């Protein structure tokens, strides 16, 4: 029996008990369905166990030597390699990814740049008040899920933050108020009690709501009798009362809030609202947590910031970091790349069709441990060990706390970790 953190999502639950005979996992205790499935990946038939190179349109198994040779050949013959993903790998692998980008004068970005990284970029102007899961458990009296389907995307989150008893919240759930703001009655609505506030807002009306709340912060009783965004005036008054009187409130920001800036500065205005409330507040404060899904999405932001002073969109030229406003979307849209190196993610599934089509026009090298839409069109597939089960490392939890990942089994067929694999690619490129 061993207690290890789960890498099924960004909550990195560190209370999972795993029983193993050293060859197989016999039992997983304490994980949610999503976490249990992370462990099931070990023996899945979709697991990639051998490197593969595409020949005559079909991926064929090959030796590591041939795969690394071909990888180096593609990268060296490409003028602008694009490196993308890195949110499902350890910080150590993320660091190697940045080193590889530097060696090959490439561009590197993580999934965060189309997700929570947007909040960090906006917060450069406004500032941001963050908190930790431990502080929420011990002190929070108000939890707001805004456009965040916590029950389905981070299944054990509510269990930890809402139902747990804390040092200063000994009565646990009874003293915590849950507010959900979402146009869809998502699964999280099902845990609501009588003191909670369910706000099923009209689609795309979040900005109106934020503006009314900001106004109400300045001038009390400014909410019109019809309410706003399909929400009742009394519910809105209860919302503002809870936000302004919470001792320790936290707003979880989900994908529903991460709208394009070209549509509206929704995140910026939300950050301003939180600042306004905190300035007015005399006894407490409201903090924010971003709900990135991948287990180490926050890690790339930290690694990139600490090594390059920028949390994503890193362009190297003559082995030096240069200024750019590009992100993964603009690089692909402008076809400003010669090949792509995709690490631990599936852009062909999660990017819009027109971007997938452009990505597919250039050679694709995938580093991953399982099949995906991207591996199905890749030119080279390099298998890596499963981080947090077969290889250790560091990952940043969604509350920006670093967690040490452990191992319970050795990887099959001596498959390297993402970090080792990226090191091998760098060595091969440097030697050839």
Nearest to 144 by CA among 245, 239, 285, 265: 239
Alpha carbon of 255 to those of 147, 182, 184, 266: distances in Å?
6, 11, 13, 12
Q: Which residues contact 310 (CB under 8 A, 6 or more apart)?
A: 304, 321
Which does residue 12 touch among other proteins, ligand SF4, none (CB within 5 to 8 A, set by kind)? ligand SF4
Q: Which of 80, 102, 118, 428 binds other proteins (CB under 8 A)?
A: 118
Picked from other proteins, ligand SF4, none, the partner binding residue 393 (CB below 5 to 8 A depending on kind) is: none
Which of 306/354 has CB closer to other proteins?
354
The number of helices, as runs of H, and strands, as runs of E, in the chain is 16, 19
Residues 6 or more apart in contact with residue 14 via CB below 8 angstroms: 3, 4, 5, 6, 403
Q: What are the structure tokens assigned to 88, written together? A: 């499902």
To the nearest whole angstrom, how small is the minimum distance from the Cβ of residue 85 to other proteins?
A: 13
Token duo for residue 289: 């947590």
- Least separation in angstroms between residue 87's CB and ligand SF4 is 14
CB-wise, 141 or 368, nearer to other proteins?
A: 368
d(CA 168, CA 316): 48
Alpha carbon separation from 289 to 132, 322, 348 (Å, rounded): 8, 30, 28
Question: How many residues can be counted in the chain?
Answer: 432
* Smallest separation, CB 370 to other proteins (Å): 5
Quote the least distance from Cβ 403 to other proteins, whole Å. Answer: 20
- For other proteins, the binding residue among 91, 199, 348, 381 (CB under 8 A) is 348
Nearest distance from C-beta of residue 155 to ligand SF4, angstroms:
5
Instruction: Return left, alpha or beta for 385; rule: phi > 0 is left, psi -120 to 50 is alpha, else beta.
Output: beta
CB of 220 to other proteins, least distance (A): 30
Q: Which residues pair with 16 in a beta bridge?
A: 4
CA distance 74 to 335: 17
According to CB under 8 A, which residues from 198 to 237 bind other proteins? 200, 202-204
**Residues pairing with 393 in the sheet:** 405
Rule CB under 8 A: say whether 33 interacts with other proteins.
yes
- CB-based closest residue to ligand SF4: 8
234's tokens: 């009394």
Distance of closest approach, residue 349 Cβ to other proteins, in angstroms:
4
Counting contacts by CB under 8 A, is residue 54 touching other proteins?
Answer: no
Nearer of residues 216 and 379 to other proteins, judged by Cβ: 379
Q: Determine, following the binding rule CB under 8 A, whether residue 423 of this chain makes contact with other proteins.
A: no
Q: What letter does residue 48 receive in the DSSP assignment?
A: -
Rule CB under 8 A: say whether 324 interacts with other proteins: no
Which residues from 171-190 bind other proteins, rule CB under 8 A? 183-187, 189
Mention every residue, 6+ apart, whose C-beta is less than 8 A from residue 3.
14, 15, 16, 17, 18
Q: How far is the CB of 400 from ligand SF4 (least distance, A)?
A: 16
Q: Based on the shown chain and the rule CB under 8 A, indicate whether residue 336 belongs to the binding site for other proteins.
A: no
Task: Please give the residue ranges that form the binding site for ligand SF4 (CB under 6 A).
Answer: 6, 8-9, 11-13, 31-32, 34-35, 154-156
Query: Using CB under 8 A, which residues numbered 281 to 300 contact other proteins?
Result: 293
CA 299 – CA 12 distance, rounded (Å): 12
Residues forming contacts to other proteins in the complex (CB under 8 A) are 33-34, 37, 40-41, 44-46, 114, 118, 149, 151-153, 155, 183-187, 189, 200, 202-204, 255-256, 259-263, 293, 326-327, 329-330, 333, 346, 348-358, 360-361, 370-373, 376-377
């Amino acid at each position: 029996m061993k207690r290890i953190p789960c890498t099924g999502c960004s909550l990195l639950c560190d209370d999972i008990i795993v029983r193993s005979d050293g060859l197989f996992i016999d039992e997983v205790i304490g994980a949610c369905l999503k976490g249990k499935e992370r462990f099931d990946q070990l023996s899945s038939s979709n697991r990639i166990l051998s490197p593969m190179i595409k020949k005559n349109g079909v991926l064929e198994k090959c030796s590591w030597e041939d795969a690394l040779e071909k990888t180096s050949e593609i990268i060296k013959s490409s003028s602008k390699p694009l490196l993308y993903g890195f949110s499902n790998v350890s910080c150590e692998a993320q660091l190697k990814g940045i080193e590889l980008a530097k060696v090959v004068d490439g561009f590197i970005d993580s999934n965060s740049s189309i997700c929570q990284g947007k909040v960090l970029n906006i917060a450069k102007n406004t500032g941001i008040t963050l908190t930790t899961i431990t502080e929420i458990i011990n002190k929070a009296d108000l939890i707001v899920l805004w456009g965040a389907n916590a029950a389905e995307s981070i299944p054990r989150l509510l269990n930890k933050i809402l139902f747990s008893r804390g040092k200063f919240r000994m009565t646990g759930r009874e003293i915590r108020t849950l507010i959900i703001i979402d146009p869809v009655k998502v699964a999280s609505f099902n845990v609501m009690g009588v003191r909670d506030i369910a706000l099923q807002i009209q689609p795309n009306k979040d900005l109106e709501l934020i503006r009314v709340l900001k106004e109400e912060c300045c001038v009390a009783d400014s909410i019109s009798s019809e309410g706003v965004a399909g929400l009742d005036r009394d519910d809105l008054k209860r919302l503002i009362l809870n936000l302004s009187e919470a001792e320790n409130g936290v707003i979880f920001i989900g994908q529903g809030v991460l709208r394009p800036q070209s549509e509206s500065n929704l995140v910026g205005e939300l950050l301003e609202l939180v600042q306004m409330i905190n300035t007015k507040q005399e006894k407490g404060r409201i903090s924010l947590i971003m709900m990135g899904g991948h287990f180490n999405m926050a890690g790339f932001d930290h690694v990139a910031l600490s090594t390059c002073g920028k949390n994503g969109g890193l362009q190297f030229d003559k082995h030096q970091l240069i200024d750019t406003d590009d992100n993964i979307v603009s690089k692909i849209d402008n076809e400003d790349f010669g090949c792509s190196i995709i690490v631990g993610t599936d852009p062909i599934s999660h990017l819009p069709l027109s971007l997938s089509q452009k990505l597919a026009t250039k050679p694709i090298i995938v580093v991953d441990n399982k099949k995906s839409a991207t591996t199905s069109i890749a030119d080279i597939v390099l298998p890596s060990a499963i981080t947090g089960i077969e290889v250790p490392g560091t990952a940043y939890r969604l509350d920006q706390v670093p967690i040490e990942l452990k191992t319970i089994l050795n990887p099959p067929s001596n498959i390297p970790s993402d970090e080792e694999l990226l090191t091998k690619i760098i060595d091969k490129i440097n030697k050839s």
